[in-house]
Chains A and B, each alone.
Chain A
Amino acid sequence: MNPFLHSLFPNIDWVEIAQACLDTLVMLGGSLLFTVATGLPLGVSLFLTARGQLHAKPRLYGVMSLLVNVLRSVPFIILMILLIPLTKALTGVSIGIRGAIVPLVIGAAPFFARLVETALREVDRGVIEASQAMGATTWQIVRRVLLPEARAGLIASATVTAVALVGYTAMGGIVGAGGLGALAYQYGYNGYKPDYMLVTVTLLIVLVQILQMLGDHLVQRYSRR
């Protein structure tokens, strides 16, 4: 070990830090993937069934909207504990990297779905009307008009969701999910090792920065207005 680094951070096991980084990235990647995969269709459904939209179904919209609001109101830490039985049924483990993904997705998907709904509402109504006038089916409008036209907004929504997920994974660390958050809590907070706290939090900041920069870059690239 580099003696200078060792004198600066006397308590730190860098192999453990590297492993925690990897764990955080796996949790983030896995949960983001499933969040988008479930949140996007949910967001599209919310958009389509809202009053005055293509497939206005106020009742269905009301039910979905309520579900989304309920899931968004439960504090994530409570949600994680409440979901343990479901997690166990789905993944075979109650906690850990794989186990954390279930509550992460259930916590973040409704949030992402709302952002998707909002992004789709930004699509010019006239463009939707023009597509209808050309004889497009609803599915064609979703795939070929709504999603491409809202692409920049959807990427921005995914970015915000990814950053929120970084925060959630860190919280997951408290109840044993592993990752950088777990290190910060166990060694930095409970073990009172300020160098651990400093390194893990710095790494989380760097991660969030990278995500935001990447997201902004993609939004920029896909903006055609």
Chain B
Amino acid sequence: MIRFAAVTKSYRVNGADVSALHPVDLEIAPGEVFGIIGHSGAGKSTLLRLINLLERPSSGQVFVSGKDVTHAEGAELRGLRRRIGMIFQHFNLLSSRTVAQNVAFPLELHGHADTAGRVRELLALVGLSEHADKYPAQLSGGQKQRVGIARALASKPEILLCDEATSALDPQTTASVLELLADINEKLGLTIVLITHEMDVIRRVCDRVAVLDAGRVVESGSVADVFLHPQHPTTRRFVAEAEHEEGRGPDYSGVTGRLFRLSFRGDTTYAPLLSQVVRDTGVEYNLLAGRIERIKSMPYGQLTLAMRGDNLEAALEQLRSAGVDIEDIAR
């Protein structure tokens, strides 16, 4: 759907070239929710804007639907942008227009005369039908973002770009907006690319994720893989933030036995695996930490255990063969 081929971007600042993106290669599949996470200044906003060419790459190519759009101009560029919706951190609604008029705006731009029916449909989709005649200043942040979403969907795009769409919202509103995005992705089957600095946003809605650090993609893959087994230090920090495990982590120095972190995914999360293994092998365990959560709709569990016993290796093997991922934690 979207492909970056060795894309770079640099800016001229005070006569010197400053690199915002080092060669980036990335492919985003049709119908998926793809997340790009990074700290501010990592280049994620630039990367997102390369897709609808609000920014032009300094080198490399951008493909959308298999077509090289890197140098699109004029009518071709406007046609491309019509197929790509975008929502923003600060909503960017027209303050002089009502909610309904904001949603009708892209339709007017492209010369649709009768917009009323489509606008009604879109406002119903985002749950704002009764606010059609209000002005943006009269709405809450969450409602404004819903208007932004309705507006972005007006011209029936194939791709929706989300620029820190929930960063200005409180946690509860964030959850409802993310739910709406997931819903839209499912119902309309459109590809969503979102950028964020919160791993929790990635965990809730994304299928795949790329971690951007100082203009480079340092890690990418399915959210479950990246979330459960982060490799790069930046990714680890993001995951730790999402798990509210900031700082050095707990001290297990007084605990006897070997320490392991067990990761369960999908159906194994709810299976009585551990008790079965304990019964079969006679090992003892001590539960130190654990939780069960969801990555998008997939449940996962992580347990930190201290284990001891003669059949320890056999126990680990039995868990592994049942699909549990085991990490040996050195103290």
**Which residues of A does B touch, CB under 8 Å?**
124, 126-127, 129-137, 140, 144-145, 148-149, 151, 222, 224-225
Contact = CB atoms under 8 A, between A and B. Distances in A.
B106 interface: yes
B96 A151 contact: yes
B131 interface: no
Contact of B90 (A126, A132, A148, A151): A126
A224 B96 contact: yes
B94 A126 contact: no
Given A135-B78, A225-B137, A148 B94 contact: yes
Contacts of A126: 88, 90, 92
B137 A133 contact: no
B193 interface: no
Contacts of A135: 77-82, 106, 109-110
A224 B95 contact: yes
Nearest to B96: A148
Nearest to B82: A135
B177 interface: no
Given A133-B54, A134-B81, A144-B105, A149 B96 contact: yes
Interface of B: 52, 54, 77-82, 84, 86, 88, 90, 92-97, 105-106, 108-110, 135-137, 151, 155, 161
A199 to B, nearest CB: 42
Q: Taking each of B77, B81, B155, B161, which has the highest tally of chain A beta carbons within 10 Å of its own beta carbon?
A: B81
A131 B151 CA distance: 11
Contact of A148 (B86, B97, B106, B136): B97
Given A134-B81, A134-B106, 4 more contacts: A133-B161, A134-B86, A134-B105, A224-B95
B81 A130 contact: no
A224 B135 contact: yes
A133 B109 CA distance: 12
Given A127-B93, A149-B95, A225-B95, A144 B108 contact: yes
5 contacts: A133-B86, A134-B81, A140-B109, A149-B96, A225-B137
A127 B81 contact: no
Given A129-B54, A133-B52, A135-B110, A224 B86 contact: no
B260 to A, nearest CB: 49
Nearest to A140: B109
A145 B97 CA distance: 10
Given A126-B92, A225-B95, A134 B109 contact: yes
B92 A129 contact: yes
Contacts of B82: 134-135
A134 B79 CA distance: 9
A149 B94 contact: yes
Q: Taking each of B79, B95, B97, B135, which has the highest tally of chain A beta carbons within 10 Å of its own beta carbon?
A: B95
Nearest to B135: A224
Contacts of B94: 127, 145, 148-149
A71 B34 CA distance: 55
Nearest to B86: A133
B165 to A, nearest CB: 12
The 4 closest A-B pairs by CB, nearest first: A135-B81, A135-B78, A130-B92, A126-B92
Nearest to A145: B94
B189 to A, nearest CB: 21
Nearest to A125: B92
B302 to A, nearest CB: 39
A135 B78 CA distance: 4
Contacts of B108: 144
B92 A132 contact: no
A136 B54 CA distance: 12
A225 B96 CA distance: 8
Nearest to B93: A127
Given A127-B94, A151-B96, A225-B137, A132 B105 contact: no
Contacts of A127: 92-95
Contacts of B93: 127, 130
Nearest to B77: A135
A133 B54 CA distance: 7
B193 to A, nearest CB: 13
Contact of B92 (A124, A137, A144, A148): A124
Nearest to B138: A224
Contacts of A145: 94
Contacts of A132: 54, 81
Q: Taking each of B52, B92, B137, B161, which has the highest tally of chain A beta carbons within 10 Å of its own beta carbon?
A: B92
A148 B105 CA distance: 13
Nearest to A151: B96
Contacts of A129: 54, 88, 92
Given A126-B90, A144-B108, A148-B96, A133 B78 contact: no
A117 B290 CA distance: 60
A120 to B, nearest CB: 13
A17 to B, nearest CB: 42
A161 to B, nearest CB: 22
B259 to A, nearest CB: 49
Nearest to A128: B92
Nearest to A130: B92
